[in-house]
Amino acid sequence: MFCPFCNQKESRVLESRLTNDNSVRRRRECESCGKRFTTYEKLEVIQFLVVKRTGTRDPYSREKLRAGLSRACVKTAVSAEQIDNIVESVENELMAAGRREISSSLLGELVLSKLSALDQVAYVRFASVYRAFQSVDDFIAELNLLKESLKDADGRSKQILERAELEERLSKDATIGSGKSR
Ligand SMILES: [Zn+2]
């Protein structure tokens, strides 16, 4: 941040305060000329597209994801704060992976990998919406997966992202190879 008076880069933060609209107000003092000025830092809006099963794309909505999670977590031990944490860490992982698009199923998998460590009821509820179980066997398979994932939630979400990337690459290769889209 350049000083508006002398254009030097270094400044000292005198005071930081969170404002009502979720930005950070910082009072700064220029280390060069000593004059004071104020900056506002705002959280970058998370923008990526969610590709639905039907192939249509919707802008990612934090509110929608939070609402879905809240429904799954009704009458469980999962707190509102934990729900926010899940949303936040999913967003962070997607940004860190540099993704601009994500399939709705992959988004669901990421959330599930985090829910699995928190509450089994919430997990199964969320899974039943996202995975639309076709049969009792699917459901039982899901429960077995859950037991596995309880051991290593973080490791699992990394695996999910890596697997998704691999699948995308493979499906692109297949498209090129066959000369037509699937
Ligand atoms: Zn200055």
C-alpha of residue 3 to centroid of ligand 1, in Å? 5
Buried b / exposed e along 22-46 (16+ C-beta atoms within 10 A)? eeeebebebeeeeeeeeeeeeeeeb
Q: What is the pTM of this model?
A: 0.56
C-alpha of residue 95 to centroid of ligand 1, in Å? 35
pLDDT in tens, 135-158: 556 666 766 766 666 666 666 667
pLDDT in tens, 3-33: 999 999 999 999 998 887 777 899 999 999 9
Of 109-118, 120-129, 159-168, where does mean pLDDT reach its minimum? 159-168
C-alpha of residue 44 to centroid of ligand 1, in Å? 27
C-alpha of residue 34 to centroid of ligand 1, in Å? 6
pLDDT in tens, 32-73: 999 999 998 876 666 888 888 788 898 888 888 899 899 889
C-alpha of residue 168 to centroid of ligand 1, in Å? 50
C-alpha dihedral sign at 132, 135, 140, 145:
negative
> Domain-by-domain residue ranges, the chain?
11-42, 49-152
C-alpha of residue 15 to centroid of ligand 1, in Å? 17
